[in-house]
């Protein structure tokens, strides 16, 4: 009787793995089918129809300005103080 135990355990393991794989395939298939039916497909840029070349240029300038501030080692809070003209607050912060 003990000689059959490893075979039974092996068959049980194989069956459990097969059941798990079947359930996984079924869940993934159902999710994919549901997504293709209910999730709308839109072309690239659909949600930013208002974005134009001028806004693109402004964004590029903003990103470049951010890089300059970071390269200088100045934090956003410090940059805001400097831009507002609160030099005394800046010097106290740098302390």
Q: Which residue has the higher pLDDT, 82 or 59?
A: 59
Q: Which of 33-37, 41-45, 57-61 has the lowest mean pLDDT?
A: 41-45
What value does the CA radius of gyration of the chain take, rounded to a whole number of Å? 31
Please spell the DSSP secondary structure of 49-84, one letter per residue: TT--HHHHHHHHHHHHHHHHHHHTT--HHHHHHHHH
pLDDT at position 25? 93
What is the domain partition of the chain in residue ranges?
A: 1-41, 43-95
Cα torsion angle, 39, 40, 41, 47, sign:
negative
pLDDT at position 8? 61
**What mean pLDDT comes out for the span 77-84?**
74
pLDDT at position 57? 94
Q: Could you tell me the two tokens for 2?
A: 């003990």
**84-94 tens-digit pLDDT:** 776 666 666 66
């Amino acid at each position: 009787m003990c000689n059959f135990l490893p075979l039974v355990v092996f068959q049980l393991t194989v069956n459990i793995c097969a059941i798990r794989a079947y359930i996984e395939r079924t869940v993934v298939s159902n999710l994919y089918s549901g997504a293709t039916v209910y999730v709308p497909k839109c072309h690239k840029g659909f949600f930013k129809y208002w974005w134009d070349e001028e806004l693109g240029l402004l964004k590029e300038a903003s990103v470049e300005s951010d890089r300059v501030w970071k390269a200088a080692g100045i934090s956003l809070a410090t940059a805001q103080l400097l831009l507002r003209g609160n030099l005394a607050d800046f010097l106290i912060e740098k302390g």
